[in-house]
């Protein structure tokens, strides 16, 4: 004897809000898939406007409303600590300190215009007559500062410069050294020129006389001290011009390369089993002292074909405040849902229940016997349980918790020779989803199972059926999820490990450990 759930394999999904199991009608729907229709307008068209005009207006209204609520599907937010560290590294790579050490101080003084004042030109010639050579002996770029600019949507970058210069003169046998401190400043802003998409640029790089301090390191004779003082006075107008002309182009090139590296970083594919997830820049933004990169996403199959686009999220994506966190990477719920679905595709699991789980097989036979003894007697030592996952799982988040719900069909065959199942159940299995990290890998684990299915005597079979799903489905799916998802942005920004958290909008990654930022750029 075979008993089946009403409607066989036809299962109708009606997921509701997270926190309650959806109810599934197990009978076939007269309406095919049972998809509900909705309209953007419910007004009756007037006599003056035809149905096509009215439909067009409804469509335009719906499009306008949708566009008004769209937001990016992911946002990478970089705080000042990360910006400083990345720019500091780029300055090192561009040999910025070597540029400072090679500043032509003597040539800059000679070429400095006298402004039509003969006395000044005569003074320069008199001072330089006693200088054999003049050069920067040591140079460092101290810890950068990144602050909000006075104007909205701009960043002020301060780059302190620390140098020791020396000159040789026939008046003394030793090198006369003096200490020079100044500060280069630049503005980071969004360039919205029509030549291309919006991007970030660094401009207005300069240093002012007010930030320049020059001090003699050692005292010498009156004549040498007077000569050193005059030389330092001549450097006050010359050094800012040198920094602007020699160092500022290097600073701008360093920022451009940093920005290009960040754009390349967000485009690194994220492997999801056979599929992969990729991000592209929609637009940058400056918020306070942070840089935000608004991203679109796309899902690609193993052949590199785009299977799903995530250009915008219909739900507003609230970007969390960084506080003291160096960076955050938030991905919207619909992208996370698609990623989970890609890692858990529909598949079939077959188990010889009596061989693998003999105690569960005994309990199953006992439970079926309470319903129908003849059906229980048909179960042999080669009885088979087949679990088929339907479609892809649904992913829900609420108040920092997540749940994965999936539709499955469970079939029990009396023996390995049986062509038809003894019975079939359509079940919604709901599991707690727990995100965790290991190093720079994001992992997901499914815990526990709550099952919902319709049967005339559900309590008799519910516990043993739930235990079968728990013993067969959960270990197999967690095995697929255990490999994790490498998030390259973590190590690329200088961190060894990440930590994850859930918001009502999506999944947030932040660094779990801090690096020690470089304080200077040394040669």
pLDDT tens, position by position, 262-312 = 999 999 999 998 899 999 999 999 999 999 999 999 999 989 999 999 876
- Which is more confidently placed, 45 or 192? 192
Instruction: Indicate if the pLDDT at residue 64 is higher than 70.
Output: no
Lowest mean pLDDT, pick from 68-77, 108-117, 185-194, 505-514: 108-117
pLDDT of residue 18: 35
pLDDT of residue 144: 96
For the segment 162-210, what is each residue's pLDDT rounded down to a tens digit?
999 999 989 888 899 999 999 999 999 998 876 778 899 999 999 987 8
Tokens in use for 249?
């182009």
Tokens in use for 85?
């560290």
**Quick one: how many helices (H) and strands (E) in the chain?**
13, 20
Per-residue pLDDT band for 158 (boundaries 50, 70, 90) equals: very high
165/176 Cα distance (integer angstroms) = 8
Lowest mean pLDDT, pick from 37-41, 68-72, 311-315: 37-41
pLDDT of residue 494: 87
- pLDDT, mean of residues 412-432: 92
Tokens in use for 421?
């199942």
488/410 Cα distance (integer angstroms) = 39
- Which is more confidently placed, 211 or 47? 211
Helix, coil or strand: residue 403: strand
Instruction: Indicate if the pLDDT at residue 454 is higher than 50.
Output: yes
Whole-angstrom CA distances from 345 to 274, 466, 481 are 10, 21, 12
pLDDT of residue 211: 86
Lowest mean pLDDT, pick from 52-61, 88-97, 512-521: 52-61
Helix, coil or strand: residue 267: coil
Instruction: Indicate if the pLDDT at residue 145 is higher than 90.
Output: yes
pLDDT of residue 13: 39
Per-residue pLDDT band for 522 (boundaries 50, 70, 90) equals: low
pLDDT of residue 125: 77
Instruction: Indicate if the pLDDT at residue 26 is higher than 60.
Output: no
Closest by CA position to 105, among listed 125, 131, 66, 140: 131
385/344 Cα distance (integer angstroms) = 20
91/85 Cα distance (integer angstroms) = 10
Contacts 24+ apart (CB under 8 A), 227-232: 227/127, 227/130, 227/169, 227/171, 228/167, 228/176, 228/178, 230/123, 230/127, 231/109, 231/127, 231/131, 231/134, 231/167, 232/178
Instruction: Indicate if the pLDDT at residue 86 is higher than 90.
Output: yes
Instruction: Indicate if the pLDDT at residue 391 is higher than 90.
Output: no
- pLDDT, mean of residues 483-501: 89
Neighbours of 171 (CB within 10 A): 12
For the segment 28-40, what is each residue's pLDDT rounded down to a tens digit?
233 333 323 333 3
What mean pLDDT is reported for the chain? 81
Q: Which of 149-153, 251-255, 341-345, 415-419 has the highest mean pLDDT?
A: 251-255
Asked if 63 and 313 touch (Cβ cutoff 8 Å), the reply is no
- Which is more confidently placed, 433 or 399? 433
Instruction: Indicate if the pLDDT at residue 56 is higher than 70.
Output: no
Instruction: Indicate if the pLDDT at residue 455 is higher than 90.
Output: no
């Amino acid at each position: 004897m075979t008993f089946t759930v009403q409607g066989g394999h036809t299962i109708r999904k009606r997921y509701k809000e997270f926190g309650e199991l959806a109810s599934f009608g197990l009978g076939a729907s007269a309406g095919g898939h049972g998809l509900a229709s909705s309209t953007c307008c419910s007004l009756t068209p007037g006599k003056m406007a035809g149905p096509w005009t009215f439909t067009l207006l409804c469509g335009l209204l719906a499009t306008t409303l949708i566009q008004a609520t769209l937001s990016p599907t992911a946002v990478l937010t970089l705080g000042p600590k990360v910006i400083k560290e990345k720019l500091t590294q780029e300055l090192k790579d561009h040999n910025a300190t070597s540029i400072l050490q090679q500043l032509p101080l003597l040539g800059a003084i000679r070429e400095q215009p006298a402004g039509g004042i003969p006395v000044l030109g005569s003074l320069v010639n008199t001072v330089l007559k006693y200088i054999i050579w003049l050069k920067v002996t040591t140079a460092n770029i101290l810890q950068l500062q990144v602050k909000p600019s006075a104007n909205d949507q701009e960043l002020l970058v301060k780059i302190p410069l620390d140098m020791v210069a020396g000159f040789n003169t026939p008046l003394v046998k030793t090198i006369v050294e003096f200490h020079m401190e100044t500060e280069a400043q630049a503005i980071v802003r969004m360039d919205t020129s029509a030549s291309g998409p919006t991007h970030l640029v660094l401009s207005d790089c300069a240093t002012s006389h007010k930030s320049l301090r020059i001090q003699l390191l050692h005292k010498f004779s009156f004549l040498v001290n007077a000569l050193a003082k005059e030389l330092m006075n001549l450097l006050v107008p010359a050094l800012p011009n040198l920094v602007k002309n020699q160092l500022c182009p290097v600073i701008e090139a360093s920022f451009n390369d940093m920005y290009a590296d960040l754009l390349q970083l967000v485009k690194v594919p994220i492997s999801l089993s056979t599929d992969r997830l990729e991000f592209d820049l929609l637009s940058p933004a400056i918020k306070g002292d942070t840089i935000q990169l608004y991203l679109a996403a796309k899902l690609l199959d193993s052949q590199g074909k785009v299977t799903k686009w995530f250009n915008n999220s219909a739900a507003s994506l609230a970007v969390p405040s960084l506080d003291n966190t160096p960076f955050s990477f938030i991905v919207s719920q619909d992208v996370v849902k698609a990623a989970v679905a890609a890692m858990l595709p529909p598949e079939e699991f077959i188990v010889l229940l009596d061989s693998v789980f003999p105690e569960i097989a005994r309990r199953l036979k006992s439970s079926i016997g309470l319903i129908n003894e003849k059906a229980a007697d048909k179960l042999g030592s080669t009885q088979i349980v087949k679990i088929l996952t339907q479609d892809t799982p649904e992913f829900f988040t609420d108040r920092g918790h997540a749940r994965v719900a999936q539709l499955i069909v469970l079939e029990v065959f009396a023996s390995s020779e049986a062509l038809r199942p003894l019975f079939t159940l359509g079940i919604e299995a709901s599991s707690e989803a727990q995100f965790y990290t290991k190093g720079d890998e994001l992992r997901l684990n499914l815990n526990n199972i709550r099952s919902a299915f319709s049967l005339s005597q559900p309590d008799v079979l519910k516990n043993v059926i739930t235990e079968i799903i728990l013993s067969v489905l959960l270990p197999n799916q967690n095995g697929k999820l255990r490999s994790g998802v490498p998030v390259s942005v973590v190590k690329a920004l200088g961190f060894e490990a990440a930590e994850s958290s859930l918001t009502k909008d999506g999944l947030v990654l932040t660094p779990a450990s801090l690096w020690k930022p470089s304080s200077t750029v040394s040669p």
